[in-house]
Structure formats: structure tokens, C-alpha cells
């Protein structure tokens, strides 16, 4: 899925780091677990190339009612990061998520 | 694949809560009949149906509409039919219970007929959905079997209702009543609980790495037991001791499975809903030895009623526990979800008071335990106090659900 975010902050000359993008994604939470989607382990990969942020992620279960909100949340959270001109999301089910993927000591 | 709009499960949950409040107040009013084990008393039977049909089954229907897309990858076949079913079902339950409580046989039969149409519509809608589902795992089998036993419960219930007018069942009345109760609670309610809990408990507890095959045993044993009871209910051993063994073994397998989920959880602290669910499962465990006393004919009338009440309250509390998980999630998904990524948002658990939820869970648990024990012991004071505690818990939970429904960003 590709969306065209607000590009106004994207005029920064240096591309944002992956760590910065992951930090931005921490504003999106899994409301039931009560942790952000990075800590929960839903984000499999984040990369940026020529201003386009690509996020490979999963959900806790197929058919999760949160799919639309988490996808939109990812797009919104990254769109406001300076240097990001577009966000592409890629929802995958392999490997499937399990609670062991939650970052330890995050409770 | 997403769930239906909030309205469909929402209307079921609202109606379910209204029936629960009425049922809890009804328990207080029928305390004298309960304390002497007078199960056939029409007022008591009416109150019991506020729980079985009004609270538990209405909640199951609403929850399935939300849950099937997640569990089976298939939304309910017709949302419109589901709304019509809901209207008929709620009207049917109201007429049936009023007919029983007030001793109006004609009103009762109107209720049975309306309810019958609603349940058949529900089963057809559910059947089409299950037929279309591509994911046929344990939950699919559990819901399929449960749907069959809901239909059988309706048949026995209709026969018992007609019997009130003309007594055509004669000496077979007690056997028909026992079959109706057990097929309803173990075949319909518990099979759904096993199938749904197999997905929801690990999701809520964040369980991982535990053994999951006990749930398969539970579904097979419960379905076999309820099936044998349905077919052979008039046969001495094959229709009594054998099904009882299968049903008890099925409950035991379910309890072992649930214990495995709790033991292998990654979520360190349990919230009020998960505490209450654990208590409900413990109460269900108590029903096994009580059932054995009834089976071997060494139980008094009071213990017989306490046995049925224990199973009923365990199922009621298990459903009440899940309201603390499902309702705030639905509200969050509807009103807070669209804001994801734009600003910090509350967690599902932040949408209600954990302290009040804990008070509600404690009142429900203590009230249920005291009710069951006092009915077994024949203590009117104990039954009244237990019913009052239980009703207090229900009112607090209903208040919490109302507050959750009003939460907005």
C-alpha cells in the first residue's frame, strides 16, 4: 500500500535514520496489549530510500480488527518525520507474530 | 476481513446487560425458592432463563458476529438478517420469561414461538457463514457442534413449554428437563466457550509455547457427551452415566487447557477481566464433583439445584469477564482507532476504572460462590446475601460498560 503524505516537512537534506523512523512508529500502540507496535514486535523492517519510507509489519492475528488503524497509524506517524516524502506499508504474515516477539522487560 | 460495524454486536451487548441486571435482581427475589431447591418453581425458571437465553446466549450471538471474521476469516452471511434475528430474539426472550414469571402460559408460548423463529434464523445465518469459511480449525468445529446443540436445546425447550399446558410428557418430564439443561449448558454454551476461548484466552493472556491439544479433547468429549445424551436420554446407562462421563471429561480437558494458557502467559499482571475469567473456570471445576453427587443419586434436591446453578454462574461469570475485554476494545476501535499515529492514545484498559472493575469482579465472584454454597446448604440468609452481592457486582459492571460506551477522545 502506498500513500502520499503531507510532504511539507520532507524537505530535510539528510535522510532520517532507521532508528528515528522506529522511534516515530512508537507513537502507534496496540491498545489491548498496551504497548507500542515496535515494542510488541509488529515491525519487521523499516528502510528509507530517496525519501520513501518502507515498513514491513505484521499484526497479532490474521483478521485483526485493528488492521486499518495500525496501517493508517504507521503512515501518519512516519509522514511527519522530516525527510520522509512517502510511506509504503507491506503487511506480511510470515513469520507469524507470537508473544515471544515482545521486547523483554517492556512491562 | 473486518468485523461488522459496532451496532450489531453493540445492540446484543446492551440487551445482554439489561437481561443480566434483571436476572441478578430476579435472583434476589427468588431467594426463598432457591434456598429450598424448588427448581420447577415458575418464577425461578423464568429468572434462570434471563441468564441462559437473555445474558449468555445474547452475548454469545453478539460476540460471534464480532469474532467470526477474526477466527474464521468470514463475516456473518447477512448482517440485515442478524438485526432482524436480534429483534425477534429479544422479544421472544422477554415474552418467554414474562410468561414463566407471571404464570401466563399463552404469553410463554408466544415467547417460545418467537424465540424459535429467531434461533432458526440465527442458525441458518451462522450455518451459511460456517459453510463459506475456509479456515476450519478447532473454533470452526466447536461453533458447528454448538450450533447443532442450540437447535436441540430449542426442541427440548419447546416440548417442555408445551408440556406445561397439557402434560403430554408425563413421567418423561424429568428426563426431558435434565437433557434440556445439560445440552443447553454443556452442548451449546460450553462448546462455544471452549472454541472462543481457544482463540481469545491466548490473545488476551499473550500465551505462547504451551500445549494446545487439550482444547481439541474438550470439544470432542463435550460434543460426544451432549450427542449421546440427546440420542439416548431415555436409556438408563448409555443415556446417563456414559454421557455424564464424557461431559465431565470435556470440562476437565477445557480447564486443563485454560490452566495451560494462564501458566504460559507473557502478560505478567492480570486485569480484572482475566481475574474474573480465572475464577469462573475455578467455579466450573467445582461443578464436576457436584455433578458426580447428582449422577450417583446421593445429592439432595438443594445440591441438585446448586449443581445446575454452579455451572450457570460459572458460564455467566466467564461471559461477564470477557465484557471487560471486548466492550472497551470495540469502543477504542470505533472512536480512538482513527486517531492512531496522530497523538498519544489511551490503552483499552484506560477506558474504565480498574478499581471499580476489581470491585465488580470481587462482588460477582463472592456472590456466585456464596449463592452456590448457600443453595446447597439450604440457607435462605446465605442465598439472599449471595444474590445481593452478585447483583451489586452486576450493577457496577453495567455502570462501567455504560461509562466505556460514552468514552470519546
Over residues B234-250, the pLDDT tens digits come to 999 999 999 999 999 99
Whether A31 sits inside 8 A of B342 (CB atoms) is no
Write out chain A residues lying below 8 Å of B348, CB-based: 31-32, 34
Query: What was the ipTM of the complex prediction?
Result: 0.84
User: What count of CB pairs under 8 Å joins A to B?
Assistant: 85
Whether A99 sits inside 8 A of B348 (CB atoms) is no
For residue B153, count other CB atoms closer than 10 A to its CB.
Answer: 26
> What is the pLDDT, as a whole number, of residue B3?
54
Write out chain A residues lying below 8 Å of B343, CB-based: 27
Handedness of CA B51, B180, B248, B191 (dihedral sign): negative
Whether B73 sits inside 8 A of A31 (CB atoms) is no
B325 touches chain A (CB under 8 A): yes
Whether A63 sits inside 8 A of B69 (CB atoms) is yes
Give, as one character, the DSSP assignment of residue B207. B
Mean pLDDT of chain B: 96
What angle separates helix B7-29 from helix B58-72, to the nearest 10 degrees? 140
Give how far A96 is from chain B: nearest CA, Å. Answer: 12
> What is the pLDDT, as a whole number, of residue B70?
86
pLDDT category of residue B4 using cuts at 50, 70 and 90: low
Give how far B408 is from chain A: nearest CA, Å. Answer: 15
Say which of B2, B268, B346 has its CB closest to residue A67.
Answer: B2
Say which of B325, B341, B343 has its CB closest to residue A74.
Answer: B341
Write out chain A residues lying below 8 Å of B274, CB-based: none
Give how far A45 is from chain B: nearest CA, Å. Answer: 18
Of the listed ranges A7-16, B127-136, B172-181, B335-344, the least confidently predicted one is A7-16
Cell reading at B297:
443419586
Write out chain A residues lying below 8 Å of B266, CB-based: 99-100, 102
Say which of B199, B333, B344 has its CB closest to residue A69.
Answer: B333
B203 touches chain A (CB under 8 A): yes
Give the chain B residue whose CA is nearest to the CA of A100.
B208
∠ Cα B127 B188 B56 (to 5°): 105
Distance CA B237, CA B218 (A): 22
Write out chain A residues lying below 8 Å of B71, CB-based: 63
Residues sharing a CB contact under 8 Å with residue B99, sequence separation 6 or more, in sequence order? B46, B105, B106, B107, B108, B109, B110, B111
pLDDT tens digits for range B145-182: 999 999 999 999 999 999 998 999 999 999 999 999 99
User: How many residues does the structure list for chain A?
Assistant: 107
Write out chain B residues lying below 8 Å of A100, CB-based: 208-209, 266
Whether A99 sits inside 8 A of B325 (CB atoms) is no
Whether A73 sits inside 8 A of B341 (CB atoms) is yes
For residue A37, count other CB atoms closer than 10 A to its CB.
Answer: 28
> What is the pLDDT, as a whole number, of residue B41?
87
Looking at mean pLDDT, say which of A4-13, A62-71, B133-142 comes out highest. B133-142
Q: State the burial class of residue B295 (Cβ atoms within 10 Å of its Cβ: 0-12, 13-18, 19+).
A: middle
Whether B5 has a pLDDT exceeding 80, the answer reads no
Residues sharing a CB contact under 8 Å with residue B316, sequence separation 6 or more, in sequence order? B20, B51, B55, B56, B280, B368
pLDDT tens digits for range B252-294: 999 999 999 999 998 889 999 999 999 999 999 999 999 999 9
Whole-angstrom distance between the N-terminal and C-terminal Cα of chain B?
26
Whether B203 sits inside 8 A of A74 (CB atoms) is no
CB-CB contact of B260 with B287 (8 Å): no
pLDDT tens digits for range A10-53: 445 688 999 999 999 999 999 999 999 999 999 999 999 999 99
pLDDT category of residue B381 using cuts at 50, 70 and 90: very high
Give the chain B residue whose CA is nearest to the CA of A67.
B2
Residues sharing a CB contact under 8 Å with residue B189, sequence separation 6 or more, in sequence order? B52, B56, B57, B60, B146, B315
> What is the pLDDT, as a whole number, of residue B209?
85
Whether A69 sits inside 8 A of B269 (CB atoms) is no
Amino acid at each position: 500500500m502506498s500513500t502520499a503524505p503531507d510532504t511539507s516537512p520532507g524537505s530535510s537534506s539528510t535522510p532520517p535514520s532507521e532508528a528515528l523512523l522506529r522511534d516515530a512508529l512508537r507513537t502507534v500502540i496496540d491498545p489491548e496489549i498496551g504497548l507500542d507496535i515496535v515494542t510488541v514486535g509488529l515491525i519487521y523492517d523499516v528502510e528509507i530510500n530517496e525519501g520513501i519510507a518502507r515498513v514491513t509489519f505484521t499484526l497479532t492475528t490474521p483478521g485483526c480488527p485493528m488492521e486499518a488503524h495500525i496501517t493508517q497509524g504507521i503512515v501518519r506517524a512516519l509522514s511527519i518525520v522530516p525527510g520522509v516524502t512517502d510511506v509504503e506499508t507491506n503487511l506480511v504474515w510470515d513469520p507469524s507474530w507470537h508473544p515471544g516477539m515482545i521486547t523483554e522487560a517492556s512491562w | 476481513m473486518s468485523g461488522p460495524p459496532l451496532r450489531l454486536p453493540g445492540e446484543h451487548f446492551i440487551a445482554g446487560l439489561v437481561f443480566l441486571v434483571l436476572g441478578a435482581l430476579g435472583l434476589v427475589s427468588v431467594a426463598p425458592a432457591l434456598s429450598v431447591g424448588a427448581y420447577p418453581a415458575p418464577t425461578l425458571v423464568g429468572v434462570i432463563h434471563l441468564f441462559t437465553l437473555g445474558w449468555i446466549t445474547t452475548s454469545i450471538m453478539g460476540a460471534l458476529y464480532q469474532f467470526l471474521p477474526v477466527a474464521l476469516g468470514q463475516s456473518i452471511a447477512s448482517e440485515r438478517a442478524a438485526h432482524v434475528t436480534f429483534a425477534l430474539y429479544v422479544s421472544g426472550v422477554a415474552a418467554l420469561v414474562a410468561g414463566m414469571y407471571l404464570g401466563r402460559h399463552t404469553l410463554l408460548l408466544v415467547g417460545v414461538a418467537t424465540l424459535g423463529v429467531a434461533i432458526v434464523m440465527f442458525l441458518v445465518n451462522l450455518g451459511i457463514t460456517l459453510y463459506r469459511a475456509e479456515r476450519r480449525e478447532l473454533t470452526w468445529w466447536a461453533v458447528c457442534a454448538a450450533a447443532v446443540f442450540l437447535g436441540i436445546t430449542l426442541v427440548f425447550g419447546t416440548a417442555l413449554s408445551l408440556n406445561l399446558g397439557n402434560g403430554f410428557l408425563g413421567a418423561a418430564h424429568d428426563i426431558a428437563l435434565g437433557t434440556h439443561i445439560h445440552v443447553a449448558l454443556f452442548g451449546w454454551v460450553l462448546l462455544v466457550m471452549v472454541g472462543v476461548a481457544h482463540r481469545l484466552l491466548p490473545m488476551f493472556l499473550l500465551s505462547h509455547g504451551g500445549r494446545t491439544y487439550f482444547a481439541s479433547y474438550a470439544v470432542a468429549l463435550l460434543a460426544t457427551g451432549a450427542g449421546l445424551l440427546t440420542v439416548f436420554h431415555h436409556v438408563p446407562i448409555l443415556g446417563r452415566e456414559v454421557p455424564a462421563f464424557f461431559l465431565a471429561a470435556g470440562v476437565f480437558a477445557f480447564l486443563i487447557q485454560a490452566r495451560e494458557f494462564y501458566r504460559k502467559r507473557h502478560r505478567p499482571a492480570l486485569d480484572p477481566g482475566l481475574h474474573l475469567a480465572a475464577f469462573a473456570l475455578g467455579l466450573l471445576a467445582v461443578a464436576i464433583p457436584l455433578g458426580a453427587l447428582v449422577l450417583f443419586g446421593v445429592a439432595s434436591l438443594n445440591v441438585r439445584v446448586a449443581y445446575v446453578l454452579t455451572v450457570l454462574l460459572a458460564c455467566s461469570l466467564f461471559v461477564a469477564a470477557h465484557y471487560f475485554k471486548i466492550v472497551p476494545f470495540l469502543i477504542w476501535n470505533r472512536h480512538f482507532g482513527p486517531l492512531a499515529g496522530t497523538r498519544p492514545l489511551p490503552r483499552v484498559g484506560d477506558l474504565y476504572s480498574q478499581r471499580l472493575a476489581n470491585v465488580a469482579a470481587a462482588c460477582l465472584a463472592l456472590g456466585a460462590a456464596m449463592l452456590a454454597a448457600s443453595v446447597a446448604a439450604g440457607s435462605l440468609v446465605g442465598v439472599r446475601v449471595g444474590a445481593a452481592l452478585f447483583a451489586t457486582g452486576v450493577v457496577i459492571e453495567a455502570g462501567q460498560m455504560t461509562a466505556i460506551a460514552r468514552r470519546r477522545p
